[in-house]
Amino acid sequence: MDERPIGRSVISRDRFSRLFSLGDRNDPSSFAPGLIIGEDDPDFPISIAPFYSSMDNSNIPSSMKVQTRAKLCFPFDSLDTWEASQGLVLPPSLVESNSGEFGSGIELVPITWNSLHHDQSLLTNGLQPSLIVLTDSPQLSSSPGLLERALLTIRTSFPSSLIWTPGIGGPDNCALLSWMGVDIFDMARSRQASSLGVLLSETGPRMPERSTNEDSSMDSQKEMWIRAISATRSAIRDCSLRDLAERQSTSSPRSVEHLRRHDQLSFEFSKKIGMTSSSVDFGKKLRCHSFESRNDVTIRNWREDISENYEPPSRQRDVLVLLPCSAKKPYRLSQSHSRFRRAIGNSRAHEVMVTAPLGLVPRDLEDLWPAAHYDIPVTGDWDEDELSIIRSMISRLVERVGYSKIVNHSGIELSLGDWVVIDTRMGASAGSGESLERLQDAISSSFSQGDGGETDFSVREEKMKSISRFQFGSDEWLEDCQIRGRPPIFTITKDGVQMAKWDPRRGRFLLSKASLGIMRRLKLLKSVEIHSGLDWVGDIFPSMIAHYDGSILVGDEVLVIQEGELIGSARALAPGWEWPLGPGKLAKSRHRL
């Protein structure tokens, strides 16, 4: 009997992690992240542990079986069993040696570091097995950078497959491993802990606390797993998995190392293909509560874009005003920034906020993700790493733009070579009367009387163009447009026809049908081409895609093309690396022409 693929659909995405429903999407029997259990493990609810595994070591190479514990494969009428040969597993250090005997299976596929480099069958077009087993996970986990590279390769090459890393998962790192792309865990470490009289908890291995009647039994280990799986699923659902992964990483030096190496690889990878988000769902926060937060790819991409690509409005390229950030976002809503803006009183001064961990946030971009949506403890103190990043960004921005004067109200000491820097704080607080008076005097002396007038802090044409350049790479589509409405939401029209609305809560333009043609002509939006002859009546699914842009980001407005003609647009739900084979819906339809 042919092996049948598991039914799986994505409930929620958070970077490389996925909350999958397994089985009939209308009535799922289980979910992932979840557990795979064996004969020595305690019984778990099927909702937590959808699979059962067994090994046969009587022959070489050994083989493995995985059985579904519920009716998870279409048409959902029976349990299913998958079988695979593990092949010859060489140590990762022998990666240059081609063993020629790799793991093989249909819906269950074992993969090793060696087979990732030499097994040509993994390149089969459309290959998306139900479950991939990284069989040498323990060895890769002990070798710097190898586990991270293997998981990144597998996740992006097989976006629909569930990934199992045998022997390395536990309640203390399942959120971290899920952040890196792992979906399925086992109880090997918990069994070992139990045999040693240790309880493997969410914070790491520890001795049971006898005063509360704890013990190291497998039933106790089971409870730790249920709590950890529940917390991980909940964090994926509300897009807070990064925060949970950072907290879990502190349970061991090795986990911290894995997170840092994963961050570096993700940053390098993001330069090649779409991975992060271009906008945000209402209410989402980027939590920056630890040192590790500053290495997240979302933050690093922001810092690089501001340093190397950002261009301020044309009339604000003369005087740079550096201001401290505020706990309230966007900054303009805070009382402190209301006072700063009254003191500045000139629309030609370019206001840029100094903040950790983003470095710099220009006033014209303060509504964007992640600038308006990050959450960080505000203490007023800076460490040397933060200061180094901020000073480097300021230096690069000043060098590129060529400001004639820098008014420094941030409180950070600056030395910028030949550029004039006016310190308006002089050791005092930013909101003191003396500091604000010096700020006002510095701005007044920088412009001739009447040059710039009173500052209009609402979102207007220059701000819209600046945001467009930052998001689309051009503001040409806004030429001859009128911007009307009541701040902070604006309507953009051209010749009486609505082109878009600006939605500051999500940090994106809501483009209308009328704008799609000009956006295509100017090549400002990414696109997906669906198969000819297809009647497009719903959202965008994998089976519909003929060609796509690999740089698509979550939240992007994507043009839908068929037979060379523009037929509408959709909002991307999945990043470019997941196209075209990711499970479930990839984009939600927006407009049909």
Burial class (CB in 10 A: 0-12, 13-18, 19+), 494: middle
In a domain, 279, yes or no: no
Both 370 and 486 in one domain: the answer is: no
The average pLDDT across 61-90 equals 93
Parent domain of 574: 469-592
Contact between 38 and 189 under an 8 Å Cβ cutoff? The reply is no
Both 319 and 262 in one domain: the answer is: no
Query: What is the pLDDT at residue 450?
Result: 63
> pLDDT-derived band of residue 458, with 50, 70 and 90 as boundaries?
very low
Both 262 and 371 in one domain: the answer is: no
> pLDDT-derived band of residue 485, with 50, 70 and 90 as boundaries?
confident
pLDDT in tens, 18-50: 999 999 999 999 999 999 999 999 999 999 999
> Is residue 453 scored above 70 in pLDDT?
no
Contact between 62 and 86 under an 8 Å Cβ cutoff? The reply is yes
Domain count, the chain: 3
In a domain, 6, yes or no: no
The average pLDDT across 86-100 equals 83
Query: What is the pLDDT at residue 561?
Result: 97
> pLDDT-derived band of residue 1, with 50, 70 and 90 as boundaries?
low
Question: What's the CATH code of the domain at 168?
Answer: 3.20.20.105
> Is residue 2 scored above 90 in pLDDT?
no
Query: What is the pLDDT at residue 125?
Result: 79
CA distance 99 to 90: 7
Which residues are CB-neighbours of 536 under 8 A, at least 6 positions away? 530, 544, 560, 562, 567, 568, 589, 592
Fill in the amino acid letter for 422. Answer: I
> pLDDT-derived band of residue 405, with 50, 70 and 90 as boundaries?
very high
pLDDT in tens, 440-451: 999 999 887 766
In a domain, 303, yes or no: no
- What is the dihedral angle through the alpha carbons of 569, 575, 578, 582, rounded to the nearest 10 degrees? -60
Query: What is the pLDDT at residue 455?
Result: 46
In a domain, 21, yes or no: no
Both 105 and 243 in one domain: the answer is: yes
Q: Where are the alpha helices (DSSP H) in 277-354?
A: 297-308, 335-344
CA neighbours closer than 13 Å in the CB half-sphere of residue 285 = 12
In a domain, 22, yes or no: no
Both 420 and 490 in one domain: the answer is: no
In a domain, 525, yes or no: yes
Both 245 and 108 in one domain: the answer is: yes
Both 483 and 342 in one domain: the answer is: no
> pLDDT-derived band of residue 226, with 50, 70 and 90 as boundaries?
very high
> Is residue 379 scored above 90 in pLDDT?
no
The average pLDDT across 303-317 equals 94
Both 247 and 327 in one domain: the answer is: no
Closest CA to 252 of 189, 294, 197: 189
- Residue that is written with structure tokens 């303009």 in the block: 332
User: ∠ CA(31), CA(34), CA(35), 5° rounding?
Assistant: 135
Question: What's the CATH code of the domain at 366?
Answer: 3.40.50.10630
Contact between 512 and 481 under an 8 Å Cβ cutoff? The reply is no
Both 96 and 195 in one domain: the answer is: yes
Both 117 and 256 in one domain: the answer is: yes
> Is residue 459 scored above 80 in pLDDT?
no
Contact between 214 and 206 under an 8 Å Cβ cutoff? The reply is no
Both 99 and 232 in one domain: the answer is: yes
Distance of CA 406 to the CA centre of its chain: 34
